[in-house]
Chain A
Amino acid sequence: MSDPAASVKLETRNLDFHYGTTRALKNVSLSCLANKVTAIIGPSGCGKSTFIRTLNRMNDVIPGTRLEGQILLDGKDIHDPDVDVVDVRRRVGMVFQKPNPFPKSIFDNIAYGLRINGTRERKTIEAAVERSLRRAALWDEIKDRLEANAFALSGGQQQRLCIARALAVEPEVILFDEPCSAIDPIATAKIEDLIHALKKSYTVVIVTHNMQQAARVSDLTAFMMLGELIEYDATEKVFTSPSSRLTEDYITGRFG
Chain B
Amino acid sequence: MKTSTRKKIVQTVAFIVLRGCLYLVLAVLLLFLYDIGKKGGGAISWEFLSQAPRKGMTAGGIFPAIVGTFLVTVTTALLAVPLGMSAAIYLNEYARQARLTRLIRLAIRNLSGVPSIVYGLFGVILFVNIMRFGTSILSAGLTLGLMTLPWTITASEEALKTVPNSYREGALALGATKWQSIRTNVLPYAVPGMLTGTVLGLARAAGETAPILFTGAAFFLPYLPKSLGDQFMALPYHLYIMATQHHQIQQVRPLAYGTALVLVAMVLGMNMAAFVIRFRLRRKRR
Contact = CB atoms under 8 A, between A and B. Distances in A.
A complexed with B: yes
A100 interface: yes
B89 to A, nearest CB: 16
The winner among B96, B173, B176 for most chain A CB atoms within 10 A is: B173
Interface residues of A, number: 25
A174 to B, nearest CB: 10
A44 to B, nearest CB: 20
B169 to A, nearest CB: 7
B96 A98 contact: no
B132 to A, nearest CB: 44
A58 B185 contact: no
Given A63-B96, A98-B166, A166 B174 contact: yes
A164 to B, nearest CB: 12
B285 A103 contact: yes
A112 B173 CA distance: 11
Interface in A117-144: 117
A113 B286 CA distance: 21
A96 interface: yes
Contacts of B180: 116
A61 B172 contact: yes
B170 A100 contact: yes
A94 B98 CA distance: 29
A52 B173 CA distance: 12
A90 interface: yes
Given A102-B185, A103-B189, A103-B285, A58 B176 contact: no
A56 interface: yes
Nearest to A89: B175
Contacts of B177: 86, 116
B184 interface: yes
A169 interface: yes
A165 B97 contact: no
Contact of A56 (B171, B173, B189): B173
B174 A93 contact: yes
Contacts of A29: none
Interface string A145-175: 0000100000000000010011001000000
B219 interface: no
Interface string A85-121: 0110110011010101011000000001101110000
Interface in A18-44: none
A112 B171 CA distance: 8
A96 B169 contact: yes
A89 B96 contact: no
Contact of B169 (A61, A86, A112, A113): A61
A149 B175 contact: no
A73 to B, nearest CB: 14
Contacts of B184: 112, 115-116
B172 to A, nearest CB: 6
A100 B176 contact: no
Interface string B154-175: 0000000000101111111111
Nearest to A149: B286
B175 A116 contact: yes
A162 B173 CA distance: 11
B176 to A, nearest CB: 5
B175 A112 contact: no
A102 B167 contact: yes
Contact of A116 (B96, B98, B171): B171
Interface of A: 56, 58, 61, 63, 86-87, 89-90, 93-94, 96, 98, 100, 102-103, 112-113, 115-117, 149, 162, 165-166, 169
5 A-B pairs closest in CB distance: A90-B175, A100-B166, A113-B174, A94-B173, A116-B176
